[in-house]
Structure 1
């Protein structure tokens, strides 16, 4: 499968080698600190809106219908960030906990901060495994201080809601402020980008071996795989989106954002969805194969 092929071929440290330009299809405005986006198979796009930072209860998930109409899907959250679907349930990182949202928009706390081996500081991205048995979550730690010493990646066993440490700063100092996650379909490889260092890594889950793939992504934020077999990486600090192809080429795909946050793709993988937190927008970017 595509994921397996990409995970097998990404093997060395890469630098920017070209510039590309995707076609901007549309931009929707009026979101309040949009952090993450995810699309379902029906063409709906879900956006996590943090609202006012550190103000509990004003965060929400907004859904954009295929016809462009939007509505509040779930509300009353604190600072919702990463989004991921497992089956029909939508999972959300919400400051120091993980929420599960049903099809009716009603949510419950799946994992409270007390369930983590160490109290999380800044839960960020979410990524399920191919079979939907596990949910991987990044803790960016003290993100204002380059992650400090609290950066970590955890795995939630959904059947038991048990949280396991996959790797943390104490085990490998390169784990500074892990952010965007992307899982291959073998269940053996997890790719992540670090917000503090701007480095993209491949983590072998069997032996916890960490390999540098590429660097220069500034405030590395989101990861998404397109139908063109490219891995897309957003740079929050510099407002850019890059691509990494299976032939080891890194390209600048789009720039000019105020803060390109946790990106996603449509179900067919042909359109990249880019939330710009500071601008309050979501951009649809057509990808060229």
Structure 2
């Protein structure tokens, strides 16, 4: 699929040159006191920085409307280009391996190549139980893909689960709410840099940060709480964890290496902070603001 130039943004002022030098797009600037912001996105849910430097955003557009979701590329020159123009049903979490972008698309997982060609990877009927709200994606070091199913998130119910998927697309259940009630509406997934067998899980329904120890048969423990509608997870090279609260429009940082550390909230307010990531240099948090239709570059 040919890339299409969709929105041309204004050039950034000279005072923001250091951000551009770090590979950051700056557009839709609201003022000196506000962080740089990309505007013109349709219900952005997740942002991914790929290994080859592409910045991909999933756009849900209308919730529950089949076919109107898309993927966009944020360009360094201040423009948005469409990678996948249509055919997605509520795309959310993104992950990348060997240049291929994987997309959690409501009840299925798709693969998208660099040209925007989209194929099915895991259809809905490949799951042990019909998925309800596939959300975040993350790869482990061996190439196994993990996906959260947030269950009855939209109606306030539970029923969440986390699945593990082989490179061939074979799905197995890792854990669900029936096995442990703490897995109510799992959302953000991330492997801890300090221990690659520890899968961090941020639950939307409980606002808790959990740890799944995969070396101990998916043993679950709680690390922290108070994250409202827990959504995205990111971690810098020093181990500092970044978390988003969709319900309350907040972003937190948490130092897992420091015993007794408490979450610290950033002063920047969002309408609905979603599945975030870090810039290549680790100095900026890229936050999709779903209800505002924007991508905010928040200094870490």
> Can you list the C-alpha shifts for 1:126-167, whole angstroms capped at 9, x where unaligned?
011124x1111000000034342x200001111x21001110
After superposition, where does 1:145-164 map in structure 2 within 5 Å? 145-148=155-158, 150-158=159-167, 160-164=168-172
Work out whether residues 138 and 181 of structure 1, in 8 Å CA contact, stay in contact via their aligned partners in 2. yes
Does 1:265 find its partner at 2:278? yes
Establish whether residue 86 from structure 1 lines up as the match of residue 97 from structure 2: yes
Shift of 1:67: 2.0
Q: CA deviation at 1:172?
A: 0.4
Does 1:138 pair with 2:151?
no
Q: What does 1:98-109 correspond to in 2, within 5 Å?
A: 98-109=109-120
Superposition map of 1:83-232 within 5 A:
83-131=94-142, 133-148=143-158, 150-158=159-167, 160-184=168-192, 186-206=195-215, 207-232=217-242
**Unaligned ranges ≥5, structure 1:** 1-22
Judging by fraction of residues, say which structure has more strand: 1
Q: Runs of 5+ in structure 2 lacking a partner?
A: 1-32
Inter-partner Cα distance in structure 2 for 1:268 and 1:126: 22
1:12-31 Cα distance to aligned partner (Å, 9 max, x none): xxxxxxxxxxx964101111
TM-score normalized with structure 1 length: 0.87
Q: How does 1:27-66 map to 2 (within 5 A)?
A: 27-66=37-76
In 2, Cα distance between equivalents of 1:41 and 1:204: 27
Q: Distance in 2 between matches of 1:60 and 1:213?
A: 35
| Equivalent in 256, 261, 284 of residue 269 of structure 2 | 256
Alignment partners' CA distance in 2, 1:254 and 1:138: 29
Which has the bigger relative contact order, CA under 8 A and spacing at least 6?
Answer: 1
The residue matched to 2:77 in structure 1 has which SS?
coil
Q: RMSD value over aligned CA atoms?
A: 1.5
- Number of aligned residues: 262
CA distance in structure 2 between the partners assigned to 1:257 and 1:227 by the alignment: 25
Deviation at 1:42, TM superposition (A): 4.5
Q: State the TM-score, normalized to the length of structure 2.
A: 0.84
Is the contact between residue 130 and residue 183 of structure 1 (CA under 8 Å) also seen in structure 2? Answer: no
Give 1 or 2 for the bigger CA radius of gyration: 2
Large movers: runs of 4+ above 6 Å: none
What secondary structure sits across from 2:125 in the alignment? helix
How far residue 33 of structure 1 moved from its aligned partner, in angstroms, is 0.4
Q: Secondary structure at the match of 1:144?
A: coil
